[in-house]
Amino acid sequence: MKPTIVPAEEALKRLQEGNQRFVAEKRNHAHEDNEYRVSLSKGQDPFAVILACADSRVTPEILFDQGLGDLFVIRVAGNVAKEKVTGSIEYAVAHLGVRLVMVLGHQNCGAVGASMGVAELSKNLQALVNEIKPAVHMAEKSGEKDVLNTAVRYNAQLVAAKLSESQPTLYPAVENEGLKIVPAYYKLETGEVELL
């Protein structure tokens, strides 16, 4: 199955329109029927990658009103991008033709909150929070009162910037193939996704 290349701006428009439907409680539930599910057995053709937090309240397919096969979703606490996550994104870009990657942070992220603490953590959790600490330091220096959610925003921006520079796949795709990597912030209270 040859992938359909959806330009980044069109993909972003689809996400924004889907989020508007979600917020307005007017979801269209596209691509959820049995016939469409069966058609996906021949291959996948997502139009965007969403790197989101593993938080149970942040489900990209729902908050962007998308269906089966529409999004290539990667979820990890704190929406950090180490080797395996970056490799998954590279796969979607190089083999599935995706031209939009969204790094989606969210209000009151527990992983970012853990990065602000001084408690002793397990080795694996410590490795996770170490990835987030630069954003926490930026937020602490920013003068913003809401340090947690400022850090969440900075974290999404830093991860997006890091991915944009990733070699050998993502940076050349940004430079030559129209790939866009955008940071965003999901507001739990309103359901809105804000581009950063």
Structure tokens given for 178: 């129209």
CA 79 – CA 155 distance, rounded (Å): 8
Task: Give mean pLDDT, residues 95-123.
Answer: 93
Q: What's the pLDDT at 62?
A: 97
Q: What's the pLDDT at 161?
A: 98
Q: What is the Cα Rg of the chain in Å?
A: 17
- In this predicted structure, the answer to whether residue 137 has a pLDDT above a threshold of 70 is yes
| Eight-class DSSP state of 44 | -
* pTM, entire model: 0.95
CATH for the 8-195 domain, from 3.40.1050.10, 3.40.50.300, 3.40.1640.10, 3.30.530.20: 3.40.1050.10
Task: Give mean pLDDT, residues 83-92.
Answer: 97
The ranges assigned to domains in the chain are 8-195
Tens of pLDDT along 56-85? Answer: 999 999 999 999 999 999 999 999 999 999
Q: What's the pLDDT at 87?
A: 97
| Range of weakest confidence among 72-81, 115-124, 161-170, 187-196 | 115-124
**What's the pLDDT band for 1 if we cut at 50, 70, 90?**
low
Q: What's the pLDDT at 55?
A: 97
- In this predicted structure, the answer to whether residue 26 has a pLDDT above a threshold of 80 is yes
Q: What's the pLDDT at 88?
A: 98
Q: What's the pLDDT at 30?
A: 86
What order of strands is seen across the sheet that includes strand 180-186? 71-75, 48-52, 100-106, 180-186, 193-195
Are the C-beta atoms of residues 110 and 77 closer than 8 Å to each other?
Answer: yes
DSSP states of 95-123 as a string?
Answer: HH---EEEEEEETT-HHHHHHT--S---H
Q: What's the pLDDT at 11?
A: 98
Q: What's the pLDDT at 101?
A: 98
Q: What's the pLDDT at 121?
A: 86
Q: What's the pLDDT at 193?
A: 98
Residue scoring higher pLDDT (43 or 78) = 78
CA 26 – CA 92 distance, rounded (Å): 29
Q: What's the pLDDT at 120?
A: 83
**What's the pLDDT band for 123 if we cut at 50, 70, 90?**
very high
Are the C-beta atoms of residues 73 and 61 closer than 8 Å to each other?
Answer: yes
How does the average pLDDT of the chain come out, rounded?
95
